[in-house]
């Protein structure tokens, strides 16, 4: 099943928008969606959390994933069906991919295509990607909306999660 949580800053400030304990609380709210693995990352302007039900690349699929420089990050709930084709194209253009996990293509595609990365994805997914250099993030759902993704904008912060209770757990959204 999997799940993602987090927040992006809209004000251009460097600090992650959420305290680490808040991001962990949000991510722990959906532990049953991803009992196999949990990951969080705090970078300039963004906080990303992921719960994972390991299916593709069980050993190497820890999320969130970064690009080669560690400046572009991505996490997802779902499955990208065409990830092997995308991976081949990314490698041919000089990207270094270290796993077989479908999620790893996300930061690399965001680096190349920005918000248009969704034009290249086939599958059922909810994606969060952040570029720390450009101070730009994107939230994307598959075209049919199979995977849930909720968000709210509060005081210059976009807070998001695979379930509404993640947003409430942030403390930024009133019940």
Q: Which residue has the tokens 């920005």?
A: 114
**Are 29 and 169 spatial neighbours (Cβ–Cβ below 8 Å)?**
yes
CB-count exposure of residue 89 (10 Å: 0-12, 13-18, 19+): middle
In whole angstroms, give the CA distance from residue 57 to residue 54: 7
Concerning whether 101 is annotated as a catalytic residue, the answer is no
Catalytic: which of 1, 2, 50, 61? 2
Cα atoms in the Cβ-side hemisphere of radius 13 Å centred on 101: 26
Contact (Cβ atoms closer than 8 angstroms) between residue 24 and residue 49: yes
Q: Which residues are catalytic?
A: 2
């Amino acid at each position: 099943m999997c799940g993602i949580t987090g927040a992006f800053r809209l004000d251009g400030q460097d600090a992650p928008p959420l305290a680490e304990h808040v991001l962990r609380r949000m991510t722990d709210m959906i532990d049953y969606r991803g009992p196999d693995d949990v990951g969080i990352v705090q970078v300039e302007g963004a906080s990303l959390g992921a719960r994972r039900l390991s299916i593709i690349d069980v050993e190497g699929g820890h999320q969130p994933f970064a690009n080669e420089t560690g400046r572009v990050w991505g996490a997802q709930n779902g499955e990208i069906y065409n990830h092997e084709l995308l991976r081949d194209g990314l490698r041919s253009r000089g990207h270094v991919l270290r796993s077989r996990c479908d999620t790893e293509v996300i930061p690399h595609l965001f680096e190349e295509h920005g918000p248009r990365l969704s034009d290249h994805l086939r599958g059922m997914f909810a994606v969060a990607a952040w570029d720390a250099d450009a101070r730009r993030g994107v939230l994307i759902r598959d075209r049919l909306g199979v995977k849930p993704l909720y968000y709210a904008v509060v005081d210059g912060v976009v807070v998001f999660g695979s379930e509404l209770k993640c947003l409430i757990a942030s403390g930024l959204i009133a019940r």
